[in-house]
Copies of this chain bind each other. A is one copy, B any other.
Amino acid sequence: MYRKELKVMDCTVRDGGLQNKWQFSDAFVKAVYDACVEAGVDYMEIGYKSSENAYSKKENGPWKFCEEKDLRRIVGENNTGTKLAAMADIGRIDFDDIPLKSESVLDMIRVACYDYQVDKGIALAEHCMDKGYEVTINLMAVSTVTEMALDQALSDLSKSKVPTIYLVDSFGSMYSEQIAFLMNKYKKALPGKTIGFHGHNNMQLAFANTIETIIHGANMVDGTILGLGRGAGNCGTELLLTFLKNPKYRVKPILQVIQDQIIPIQKELSWGYYIPYLITGYLNLHPSSAIKWMDSEEKDDFMSFFEQSIDSRKELE
Contacts and interface: CB of A to CB of B under 8 A. Distances in A.
B242 A282 contact: yes
Nearest to A236: B204
B207 A205 contact: yes
Interface stretch (A54-62, A91-99, A138-146, A250-258): A250-258
Interface stretch (A22-30, A118-126, A184-192, A298-306): A298-306
B203 A205 contact: no
Nearest to A235: B204
Nearest to A307: B252
A204 B203 contact: no
B303 A175 contact: no
A239 interface: yes
Given A207-B205, A208-B204, A303 B256 contact: yes
A189 B117 CA distance: 53
A278 interface: yes
Give the copy number: 2
Nearest to A238: B278
B300 A208 contact: no
A130 to B, nearest CB: 40
Contacts of A206: 204
Contacts of A204: 201, 204, 206-208, 236, 239
A259 interface: yes
A176 interface: yes
A67 interface: no
Interface string A80-102: 00000000000000000000000
A176 B211 CA distance: 8
Contacts of A265: none
A243 interface: yes
Interface in A175-223: 175-177, 201, 203-209, 211-212, 215
A149 interface: no
Interface string A236-274: 101100110000000010011011000100000000010
B243 A175 contact: yes
A176 B259 contact: no
A39 interface: no
A212 B176 contact: yes
A275 interface: yes
Contact of A301 (B252, B259, B278): B259
18 contacts: A176-B208, A177-B215, A203-B207, A203-B239, A203-B243, A204-B236, A208-B208, A208-B211, A238-B275, A242-B282, A252-B303, A252-B306, A255-B302, A258-B302, A259-B300, A259-B301, A263-B300, A273-B273
Given A176-B215, A263-B300, 16 more contacts: A175-B211, A177-B215, A204-B204, A204-B207, A204-B239, A205-B207, A208-B209, A242-B282, A252-B303, A252-B306, A255-B306, A256-B303, A259-B275, A259-B301, A259-B302, A259-B303
